[in-house]
Structure 1
Amino acid sequence: MDTAKPRLDLLRSMTDEHVLRTLMRGARATRAEIAAATGISKPTISDSVRRLTAAGLLVDTGERTTGRGRVGSYYSLAPDVGAALVVEIAPRGVTGEAVDAFGAVLARTSVPLDRAAGEARTARALTEVAGALTGQVTGGLRVAVVSAADPVDRRTGALVHLPDAPFLVGTLAPVPLLAPLVDGPVLVDNDVNWAARAEMAVGGAADVGDFVYLHLGEGLGCAVVSDGEVRRGHGGLAGEIAHLYTPGPDGTAMPFTAVFAALGLRRPSSTAVDVDALRAAAAGDDALRAVLATAVCGVLLAAVSLVDPEIAVLGGEWGADLVPDVTGRLGTAARHVPVTAGRVAEPQLAGARADAVERLRAAIVARTR
């Protein structure tokens, strides 16, 4: 069996990947700059650039080096290599972005919703957003990443209906809705999981491989990160803490979500926490802050006992407000961890966007094989 050609094809494929990934880290580069960055010889890089240009993945920008020495041509990714679709499905509406391989947002659009939108209206909003973005990018949408403010079935990508969830969209299935508009795979995950990934990358849990991220907002959620991976559980429902028992206002154990009903801090005719009312009341009421901190500590202590995190990160609209109070109470427990505030703006979108960029880059590289 002649193994020379398969070996040569593999070497060419590896070189092409090095060239593409080097160009994905910057807007443009000459063949000499790519050779210097990769440590691969200039003739080998030149051959790769010719192949990738012929394949439509690279273009000569028309720009040339100046100064002494041989003139070099600048190359960049072709403008029609496509984009990634990033979508957030939240109570306020569906927001979508088209993102390029450099992580730049090429276009953004939104369709407003309310908490009673329901499955059919949310599905229409999702396809409307994706359809609008499809027409605004050259080369089409190659991959899609969706962040949803509901639990997500890890096998199907469909949203899961749980009792008392504040944002009810039934069993909305984004994957089949987006598949006709996206050339490649569609990945769906819970918004709290995406937020935890963002905090692990550049936020309050930067470079920490074992932590819990508690989302405290209109809804209540938790992401468990172990060995650098978000643990989603058998059905994707890990971290659904709304019905975890914790001390209530009178010290009696009750579901976490019921604490806010007992305090009168829910939105009318909803299980959603009234964030504005909570923040206003807690700002001048130490007793209320103590009740909230005690309830949050009950949730964190359960997490500490079960998954042994290094730290806990509090995010969401009012999570950071309680960091001092939670830290004080948690520090007296037999087992406790440092508590810090989330630092990333729109962490759910940031986490989904970062993943989408990596998947888009992988899809571009895969076209060379």
Structure 2
Amino acid sequence: MVNRKALPSMTLLRELTDQIVLDTVFGQAPITRAEIAQCTGISKTTVSEAVRRLEDAGLLLTAGTQTGRQGRVGTYYQVAADAGFAVAVDLNSTEIRVRAADLFGVPFLDEWHAPTDPPCQLRGLVTRAIDRGMAEHRRLLAVGVSVANPVDPATESVVELPDTPYPQGLFRPQEVLDGLFEAPLLVDNDVNLAAIAERWHGAGRDVHSFAYVHIGAGMGMGLVIGDQLVRGSHGVAGEIGYLPLDSGLRQGFTLAVLGSPNTAARGAVIGRAIASVCALVDPELVLLGGPLGLDPDLLDPVRATVAELAPVPPKIEFGALGESAAVRGALEQALQRGRADLWAKA
């Protein structure tokens, strides 16, 4: 008996074609059917059928016609901006940031609130953001939540570490938001999300490996190696505030930074932590962020210490996105997940 691999069904082939066409239009709009066929290698007839299906589903819209050419006039297409939206919330000890954007990442909501009761506020703020988004963008694609504690990558549970600087954040957003929506909920650490934002929209766009070092009530690091965020098996990769220092105290680096008498001394301590990271992972770039990390007087002492101690000192700069980095990372992650799911259902 001859074993033959099962051929993909016509339904699967149509779904794959629709995904490819939708992804091409999203990245290159406005674009005609002939140009889609040229870019993808899919026949014009098959592209036309896929475009018709995507128009019927409300995912593609016409965007004018070609001008200034002879022969058959082509119609331009673009992805419908009202095809969906995402919501992101950043929870930390000083403020709660909320940001929502359409499928293209164009924000329609950007606000902040003083934290009083984070679990209660989280549900109320997400509800308001969803209500506003549904009025103009039809469907919720995903919600991202940034928390100022580690998050287990397998369970998305908040990890409680000793002496956490944000004990108010030790709750499960999944439980607080249960029953509010059916879209995916993505929960991640704020420093990791800040690194994601810098990678896509900030100072990390042109490098393949960098460390984002956050200094505030605590000290943490988001590490991107080979364009991949390193989380660790328990979600605590990058908790450099727990590196041992001469004192032998838990969170030695964090205590030393917060107890430094001046900016120069603080920069020297931070520089020692960064030099340790450089010896282990050799990043191309280090970005500083967070309330204390963005102090303009901090950069020179950090650079000087790293230059003295690191095997090969990397370039050290401030992050480009400031205090909005974490919420922008949460939104970027939610949009990427939402687009992937939308494409898959097309």
Name the counterpart of 1:296.
Answer: 270
2:14 alignment partner in structure 1: 12
* Deviation string, structure 1 residues 229-258 (Cα, Å, up to 9, x no partner): 2222222122223332336xxxx6651222
2:268 equivalent to 1:309 = no
For residues 111-130 of structure 1, the aligned pairs below 5 Å read 111-113=113-115, 117=116, 121-130=117-126
The letter for the 2-side match of 1:256 is F
Q: For 1:123, give the aligned amino acid.
A: P
| 1:243 alignment counterpart | 242
3-state DSSP class of the match of 2:309?
Answer: coil
Counterpart of 1:234 in structure 2 is 233
**Residue deviations 1:70-103, cap 9 Å, x none?**
3444433345532122221122332222222211
Work out the CA distance in 2 between the residues paired with 1:260 and 1:296.
Answer: 7
How much does 1:3 deviate?
8.0
Q: Tell me whether 1:166 sits opposite 2:165 in the alignment.
A: yes
Structure 2 distance, partners of 1:57, 1:340, is 43
Decide whether aligned partners of structure 1 residues 180 and 111 sit closer, same or farther in structure 2, where only a CA change above 3 A counts. Answer: farther
Unaligned stretches of 5+ residues in structure 2 = none
Q: Structure 1 residues 59, 354: CA separation in 2 closer, same or farther (over 3 Å shift)?
A: same
Change (3 A) 1:5 1:339: closer
Q: Secondary structure at the match of 1:245?
A: coil
CA contact (8 A) 1:16 1:52 kept: yes
Cross-structure match for 1:152: 151
Alignment-derived partner of residue 267 in structure 1: none
Task: Specify the code of the residue in structure 2 equivalent to 1:312.
Answer: V
Equivalent residues of 1:312, 1:337 under 8 A apart: no
| TM-score between both structures, scaled by the size of structure 1 | 0.79
> Would you say the 8 A contact 1:97–1:109 is kept in 2?
yes
Q: Deviations over 1:322-362 (max 9, x none)?
A: 22222222222262422411332122233223222221210
The two structures have a TM-score, normalised by structure 2, of 0.83
CA distance in 2, matches of 1:200, 1:58: 29
Pairwise mapping of residues 133-282 of structure 1 onto structure 2 (< 5 A)?
Answer: 133-137=129-133, 138-246=137-245, 255-260=252-257, 262-263=259-260
Q: 1:160 touches 1:170 (CA, 8 Å); kept in 2?
A: no
Residue correspondences, number: 334
Task: Tell me how far 1:66 sits from its aligned partner.
Answer: 4.6
Cα pair 2:193 2:329 within 8 Å, conserved? yes
Rounded to whole Å, the distance in 2 between the matches of 1:224 and 1:144 is 23
More divergent stretch after superposition (346-355 vs 143-152): 346-355
Residue 343 of structure 1 aligns with an amino acid whose one-letter code is: G
Contact 1:319 1:341 in 2 (8 A): no
2:96 touches 2:113 (CA, 8 Å); kept in 1? yes
Decide whether the 8 Å contact of 1:211 with 1:313 is kept in 2: yes
Identity %: 36
Q: What amino acid sits opposite 1:186 in the alignment?
A: L
Task: Please report the RMSD computed on the Cα atoms of aligned residues, expressed in angstroms.
Answer: 2.9
1:2-81 equivalences in 2 (<5 Å): 6-25=8-27, 28-60=30-62, 63-66=64-67, 69-78=71-80, 80-81=82-83
Contact 2:15 2:344 (C-alpha < 8 Å) held by counterparts: no
Whichever residue aligns with residue 364 of structure 1, its letter is L
Give the match's secondary structure for 2:104: coil
